[in-house]
Chains A and B, each alone.
Chain A
Amino acid sequence: MRRCSWRIFLAVVFGCVVLGQTSVLRAQAVAPKDTGVKIDGEYGPFLPTDISVDGYQVDRLINVLHVFMIGLFVGWGLFFAFCLVKYRQRPGHRANSVLIKAKPSKYLEIAVAIFEAVLLFGFSIPVWARVKSEFPTDDPMRVRVVAEQFAWNFHYPGADKKFGKLNPKIIDLVKNPLGRMDDDPAGKDDFVSGEFHVIEGRSVVVEILSKDVIHSFFVPVLRVKQDAIPGMRIPIWFKTKEKTAGAYEIGCAQLCGNNHFSMRAVMHVDTPEQYAAWVKKVTAPPEEFKED
Chain B
Amino acid sequence: MAQHQHKGGGHGHDHHHHDDHGAGHHELSYWRKYIFSVDHKIIGIQYGLTALCFLFFGFSLMMIMRWQLAYPNKPIPVIGSLFPSFFPGGAMAPEMYNAFGAMHGTIMVFLGVVPMLVGAFGNYVMPLQIGAPDMAFPKLNMMSYWVYFCGGVTMLASFFVKGGAAQSGWTSYAPLSVITQPHQWGQTMWLIGMVFLITSSLLGSINFITTIVQLRAKGLTMFRLPFFVWAQFVTSFLLLLAFPPLEAAGILQLMDRVAGTSFFMPEGLVVSGQMQSYTGGGNPLLWQHLFWFLAHPEVYVLILPAMGMVAEIIASNTRKALWGYRTMVYSIIFLGFMSFIVWAHHMFITGMGQKMAAFFATTTMIISIPSVVILTAMVITLHGASIRFNVPMLFALAFLPMFAIGGLTGLPLGLPVSDIQLHDTYYVIGHFHYVVAPGTIFAIFAGIYFWFPKATGRMMNEALGKVHFVLSFIFINVAFMPMFFQGLAGVSRRLADQTGYAHGNAVQGLTRMSSWGAWMLGLSQVPFIINFFVSMFAGRKVSENPWESTTLEWSAPSPPPHGNFKSTPVVHRGPYEYGVPGIAKDYFPQHQAGAEA
A residues lining the B interface (CB < 8 Å):
5, 9, 12-13, 16-17, 19-20, 23-24, 26-30, 32-33, 35, 39, 41, 43-48, 57-59, 61-62, 65-66, 68-69, 72-73, 76-77, 79-80, 83-84, 87-90, 93-100, 102, 105, 108-109, 112-113, 116-117, 119-120, 123-125, 127-129, 131-133, 148-149, 168-169, 171-173, 177, 179, 211-214, 216, 218, 220, 223-227, 229-232, 234, 249, 251-262, 264
Contact = CB atoms under 8 A, between A and B. Distances in A.
A218 B492 contact: yes
16 contacts: A20-B517, A27-B511, A33-B505, A45-B510, A79-B379, A97-B321, A97-B578, A100-B383, A128-B416, A213-B179, A229-B285, A231-B267, A231-B280, A251-B501, A260-B494, A261-B496
- In this complex, the member of B167, B386, B389, B409 whose beta carbon has the largest number of chain A beta carbons within 10 angstroms is B386
A66 B409 CA distance: 8
Interface stretch (B4-12, B253-261, B470-478): B470-478
Contacts of B415: 61, 65, 119-120, 123-124
Given A29-B509, A66-B412, 8 more contacts: A43-B506, A69-B408, A69-B411, A84-B387, A87-B386, A128-B357, A213-B271, A258-B94
Identify which of B409, B506, B581 gathers the most chain A CB atoms within 10 Å of its CB: B506
B513 interface: yes
Nearest to B282: A231
Contacts of B169: 255
Nearest to A37: B502
A223 B176 contact: no
Nearest to A177: B273
A34 to B, nearest CB: 10
B488 A230 contact: no
B418 A65 contact: yes
Interface of B: 94-95, 98, 167-169, 173, 175-176, 179-180, 266-273, 275, 280, 282-285, 318-321, 323-324, 349-351, 353-354, 357-358, 361-362, 365, 368-369, 372-373, 376-377, 379-380, 382-389, 397, 400-401, 404-405, 408-409, 411-412, 415-418, 420-425, 463, 466-467, 470-471, 474-475, 478, 482, 485-486, 488-490, 492-503, 505-513, 516-517, 520, 578-581, 586
A274 B284 CA distance: 39
Given A12-B470, A95-B318, A231-B284, A43 B507 contact: yes
Nearest to A2: B463
A80 B270 contact: no
Contacts of A35: 500-502
Contacts of B321: 97, 99
A217 to B, nearest CB: 9
A109 B373 contact: yes
Contacts of B180: 257
B159 to A, nearest CB: 17
Contacts of A123: 415, 417
A2 to B, nearest CB: 9
A48 B266 CA distance: 36
Contact of B516 (A19, A83, A179): A19
**B285, B384, B578, B586: residue with the most chain A Cβ atoms closer than 10 Å:** B384
A230 B275 CA distance: 13
A227 B420 CA distance: 10
A39 B380 CA distance: 51
A28 B513 CA distance: 10
A120 B486 contact: no
Given A20-B478, A27-B509, A62-B418, A105 B173 contact: no
A260 B176 CA distance: 11
Nearest to B72: A261
A68 B409 CA distance: 11
B269 A95 contact: no
A10 B275 CA distance: 64
Contacts of B470: 9, 12-13
Task: List the 9 closest A-B pairs by CB distance, nearest first.
Answer: A27-B509, A231-B266, A220-B490, A96-B384, A45-B485, A43-B506, A83-B382, A39-B502, A261-B495
Main secondary structure of the interface of B (DSSP, over half): helix
A69 B401 contact: no
A23 B379 contact: no
Nearest to A70: B408
B502 to A, nearest CB: 4
B268 A256 contact: no
Given A80-B400, A214-B175, A224-B420, A44 B580 contact: no
Given A76-B404, A83-B383, A129-B354, A220 B417 contact: no
Contacts of B349: 216, 225-227
Nearest to B175: A213
A180 to B, nearest CB: 13
B507 A45 contact: yes
A230 to B, nearest CB: 5
Nearest to B373: A109
A75 B494 CA distance: 34
A132 B386 contact: no
Nearest to B412: A65
A124 B270 contact: no
B74 to A, nearest CB: 13
B453 to A, nearest CB: 19
Contacts of A96: 320, 384-385, 579
B466 A9 contact: yes
A144 B517 CA distance: 43
A127 B409 contact: no
A211 B269 contact: yes
A208 B482 CA distance: 32
A148 B95 CA distance: 17
Identify which of A72, A73, A116, A256 gathers the most chain B CB atoms within 10 Å of its CB: A116
A220 B503 contact: yes
B95 A258 contact: yes
A254 to B, nearest CB: 6
A16 B520 contact: yes
A153 to B, nearest CB: 12
Contacts of A5: 463
A6 to B, nearest CB: 9
A255 B168 contact: yes
B383 A73 contact: no
B417 A58 contact: yes
Contact of B586 (A87, A95, A212): A95
A83 B400 CA distance: 13
B344 to A, nearest CB: 13
B275 A168 contact: yes
Contacts of B513: 20, 23-24, 27
A29 B256 CA distance: 47
B162 to A, nearest CB: 16
Contacts of A131: 417, 420
A120 B167 CA distance: 36
Contacts of B350: 227, 229
A258 B512 contact: no
Contacts of B509: 24, 26-30
